[in-house]
């Protein structure tokens, strides 16, 4: 018996980020989270990394011209409903991506991957400075506390500091900023701070409080969160609701994470399908 093809036509999202050979973060985590939200994920690879659960051994940046070629190939064929950016590796790539996303109408979620879990800076000062233009083109920027410190200066140690940083990022040009609270304090509660700007120059502040999961196996959490938000935006959901749902799903993603490899495990982006 010959079967009739019965295809589906999901929304499409695009991840612009580096590849994680260990599979826990980067493009690999992005596509898992997008799929879990019923969205077809496409990708532009900005760098390849030789890494595993114990650390990063080597990084090879993809030439900016090839980054642009990948983007053109995707945008020429797919109706991209939302874009997220992750690791961009070099100042030239940051500037190239800024120009590319500035020409599209789709919402853009910028995850500014700048600081490793060890606290080491991942980008040159020139690349960090280049982020100002990309943040200005962002629908949402999602730094953790360490990255927010790089972007706005000054310590981010409390939710009040996170709000200040979010307001500064909105003033820089982003429509909204989500300052993640996983690195703020060590209590039982994680507080993520969302600052949404408006045309009058004011801002709405929303705080999301969730129980902290007692683990250091959070590899890929920032990638999964930003990709989950982008996927929901691609589905046509409003920004605030997209952020709330994605943040709500991070607890289960961390608690039911992958225990693989010899180092700390990775988050389980696929559990988002229970909340999509």
- Helix (H), strand (E) counts: the chain: 8, 9
pLDDT at 274 over 60: no
Determine phi and psi for 142, rounding to 5 degrees.
-125, 65
**Structural domains in the chain, sorted by start:** 12-270 (3.40.1190.20)
> Which tens digit of pLDDT belongs to each residue from 14-70?
999 999 999 999 999 999 999 999 999 999 999 999 999 888 888 999 999 999 999
Quote the tokens at residue 62. 């993809």
Mean pLDDT of 184-209: 89
Mean pLDDT of 154-180: 95
Q: In what order do the strands lie in the sheet with 140-141?
A: 55-61, 40-52, 12-20, 80-85, 108-110, 140-141, 176-179, 189-197, 203-211
> Which tens digit of pLDDT belongs to each residue from 73-110?
999 999 999 999 999 989 999 999 999 999 899 999 99
Q: Is residue 89 within 8 Å of 130, Cβ to Cβ? A: no
> Which tens digit of pLDDT belongs to each residue from 196-208?
998 677 889 999 9
The pTM assigned to this predicted structure is: 0.95
182/166 Cα distance (integer angstroms):
15
Quote the tokens at residue 52. 């595993």
Q: Which residues of 90-110 are buried (b: 16+ CB within 10 A; e: fewer)?
A: bbbbbbbbbebbeeeebbbbb
230/83 Cα distance (integer angstroms):
6
pLDDT attached to residue 114: 85
Q: For residue 105, what are the contacts with CB-CB under 8 A and spacing of at least 6?
A: none
Run of H or E residues at 28: helix 26-36
pLDDT at 256 over 80: yes
pLDDT attached to residue 186: 78
């Amino acid at each position: 018996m010959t079967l009739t093809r019965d295809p589906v036509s999901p929304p499409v999202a695009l991840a612009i980020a580096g590849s994680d050979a260990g599979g826990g973060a980067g493009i690999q985590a992005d596509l898992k989270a997008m799929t879990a939200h019923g969205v077809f994920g496409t990708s532009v690879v900005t760098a390849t990394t030789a890494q595993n659960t114990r650390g990063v051994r080597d990084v090879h940046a993809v030439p900016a011209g090839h980054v642009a070629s990948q983007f053109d190939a995707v945008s020429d064929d797919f109706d991209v409903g939302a874009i997220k950016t992750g690791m961009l590796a070099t100042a030239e790539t940051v500037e190239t991506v800024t120009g590319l996303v500035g020409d599209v109408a789709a919402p853009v979620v910028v995850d500014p991957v700048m600081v490793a879990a060890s606290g080491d800076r991942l980008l040159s000062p020139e690349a960090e400075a280049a982020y100002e233009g990309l943040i200005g083109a962002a629908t949402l920027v999602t730094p953790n506390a360490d990255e927010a410190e790089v972007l706005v200066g000054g310590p981010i140690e409390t939710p009040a500091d996170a709000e200040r940083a979010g307001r500064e990022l909105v003033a820089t040009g982003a429509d909204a900023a989500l300052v993640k609270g996983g690195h703020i304090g060590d209590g039982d509660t994680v507080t993520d701070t969302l600052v949404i700007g408006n045309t009058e120059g004011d801002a709405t502040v929303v705080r999301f409080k969730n129980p902290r999961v007692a683990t250091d196996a959070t590899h890929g959490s920032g990638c999964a969160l930003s990709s989950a938000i982008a996927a929901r935006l691609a589905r046509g959901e409003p920004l605030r609701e997209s952020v709330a749902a994605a943040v709500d799903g991070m607890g289960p993603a961390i608690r039911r994470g992958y225990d693989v490899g010899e180092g700390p495990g990775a988050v389980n982006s696929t559990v988002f399908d229970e909340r999509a």
